[in-house]
């Protein structure tokens, strides 16, 4: 080490201590003058076995007066493994040892060190340092792993929102756990049309929802309002039998209730009467409103597709194109009665999954999306294939309100996106 005299051959270290403290002094052999430096030399600490070989057969005592003979003897010194030696251990791979044998550690001598070393067999008393044991354990674990396969880790999608109080990151997991429990209570039976209704059919429901989507677009209402409107209609029709002539009245009244729940600026009753070409009176609308809320027991706080799709889009690290395409697929499902059998969370997850496959022309469902949606690819395949079929025929037929809505520049012309036909053609890929 630069600046030290620990390798000076003219210095002899005394093995005696003063006052039982262990302070060591060094003297110069030629001059006999004690060296004032009381610091213990590093070489005295860093040697396993030290053999004192003085340049002169005699050495002065600690007072520098009377010469005393120095016997050659071995002084054992227990020390940790030097950094040079530890680097050698960690840099070289471990070799297998014969059964019943333990490794022998041999110190690496320093180039500037002139002292002799005796190699001690530590086969019977070997205790490797803790960091060496940890390193060997890590190497053993790495050997067991397949280096070509790495498990994908889920991302923390709320990391960027921790300082945003409106994001309520501390409670977000509990909130969506509550949503999942509540959505099962707000779902309707896929057979309610046959079991409960006598005068209306699935086709009539599709015509009503398709018309309400156009009304929603003209009123420039929020997306949450549309999903809650359809939810209120299905839940009310599941519990109450109505005549065909009241179906449109139930539809506009459900949208009025959804506006009161979701919107800041609520359309008035006369606005809804006008869009029905004054087919109903104000009194009929208000009476129907009371009937619906009493039938549903004032339970309007239900999780819809909207709350789930926003969360799943965030997990998918979405862009604007994926967001619009996902909402387009969900709106297509609103019109079709056969999609009622899927809960809102599954529809939202399938829309994000299908949208990603449509844009990337390959399956796109990461571990992060699976973690936050609680749905794997296998759970989404049935719903996703049905969405692709709806996407294929969205521009044709009688129900084209969704297609016209998403063909505008406001919605990024999402309806013009080429459907993911490969999801239907390559059956083996999704098996």
| Among 149-153, 195-199, 343-347, 400-404, the least confident range | 149-153
Contact 12, 67 (CB under 8 A): no
Give per-residue pLDDT as tens, 231-272.
999 999 999 999 999 999 999 999 999 999 999 988 999 999
Looking at residue 158, its pLDDT comes to 84
* pLDDT value at 19 more than 80: no
Q: Is the pTM of this model over 0.85?
A: no
CATH of the structural domain 305-430, one choice from 3.40.50.10190, 1.10.472.10, 1.25.40.10, 3.40.50.620: 1.10.472.10
Give per-residue pLDDT as tens, 71-117.
444 444 444 444 444 455 445 454 444 445 445 444 545 555 544 44
Instruction: For the chain, give the mean pLDDT.
Output: 77
Between 373 and 113, name the one with better pLDDT.
Answer: 373
Looking at residue 392, its pLDDT comes to 94
Q: Copy the structure tokens of residue 64.
A: 């520098």
For the chain, the structural domain boundaries read: 1-150, 187-295, 305-430
Query: Residue 397 contacts by C-beta under 8 Å, 6 or more apart in sequence?
Result: none
Query: Residue 250 contacts by C-beta under 8 Å, 6 or more apart in sequence?
Result: 233, 236, 237, 242, 288, 292
Give per-residue pLDDT as tens, 31-42.
555 555 555 554
CATH fold of the domain at 187-295: Cyclin A; domain 1 (1.10.472)
Q: Could you tell me where the DSSP H helices lie in 187-280?
A: 192-196, 202-219, 223-239, 247-262, 269-275
Looking at residue 365, its pLDDT comes to 87
* pLDDT value at 23 more than 80: no
User: Fold identical between 187-295 and 305-430?
Assistant: yes
């Amino acid at each position: 080490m630069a600046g030290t005299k620990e390798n000076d051959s003219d210095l002899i270290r005394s093995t005696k201590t003063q006052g039982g403290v262990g302070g060591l002094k060094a003297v110069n052999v030629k001059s006999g003058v004690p060296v004032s430096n009381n610091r213990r030399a590093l070489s005295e600490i860093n040697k396993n076995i030290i053999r004192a070989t003085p340049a002169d057969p005699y050495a002065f005592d600690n007072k520098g007066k009377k010469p005393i003979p120095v016997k050659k003897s071995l002084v054992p010194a227990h020390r940790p493994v030097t950094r040079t030696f530890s680097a050698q251990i960690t840099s070289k791979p471990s070799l297998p040892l014969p059964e019943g044998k333990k490794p022998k550690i041999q110190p690496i001598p320093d180039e500037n060190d002139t002292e002799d070393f005796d190699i001690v067999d530590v086969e019977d008393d070997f205790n490797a340092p803790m960091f060496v044991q940890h390193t060997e354990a890590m190497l053993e674990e790495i050997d067991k792993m397949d280096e070509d396969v790495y498990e994908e880790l889920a991302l923390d999608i709320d990391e960027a929102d921790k300082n945003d109080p409106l994001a309520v990151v501390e409670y977000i997991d509990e909130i969506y756990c509550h949503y999942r429990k509540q959505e099962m209570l707000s779902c309707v039976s896929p057979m309610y049309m046959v079991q409960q209704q006598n005068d209306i059919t699935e086709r009539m429901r599709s015509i009503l929802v398709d018309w309400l989507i156009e009304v929603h677009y003209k009123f420039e209402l929020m997306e949450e309002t549309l999903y809650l409107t359809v939810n209120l209609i299905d839940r009310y029709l599941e519990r109450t039998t109505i005549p065909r002539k009241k179906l449109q009245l139930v539809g506009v009244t459900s949208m009025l209730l959804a506006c009161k729940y979701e919107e800041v600026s609520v359309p008035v009753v006369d606005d809804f009467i006008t869009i029905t070409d004054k087919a109903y009176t104000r009194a009929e609308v208000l009476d129907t409103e009371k009937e619906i809320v009493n039938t549903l027991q004032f339970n309007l706080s239900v999780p819809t597709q909207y709350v789930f799709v926003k969360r799943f889009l965030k997990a998918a690290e979405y862009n604007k194109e994926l967001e619009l395409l996902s909402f387009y697929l969900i709106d297509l499902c609103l019109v079709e009665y056969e999609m009622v059998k899927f809960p809102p969370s599954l529809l939202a997850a399938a829309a994000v999954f299908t949208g990603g496959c449509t844009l990337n022309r390959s399956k796109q469902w990461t571990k992060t999306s699976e973690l936050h949606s609680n749905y794997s690819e296998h759970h989404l395949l049935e719903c996703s294939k049905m969405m692709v079929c709806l996407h294929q025929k969205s521009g044709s037929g009688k129900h084209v309100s969704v297609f016209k809505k998403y063909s505008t520049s406001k919605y990024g012309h999402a309806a013009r996106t080429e459907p993911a036909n490969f999801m239907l053609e390559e059956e083996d890929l999704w098996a």
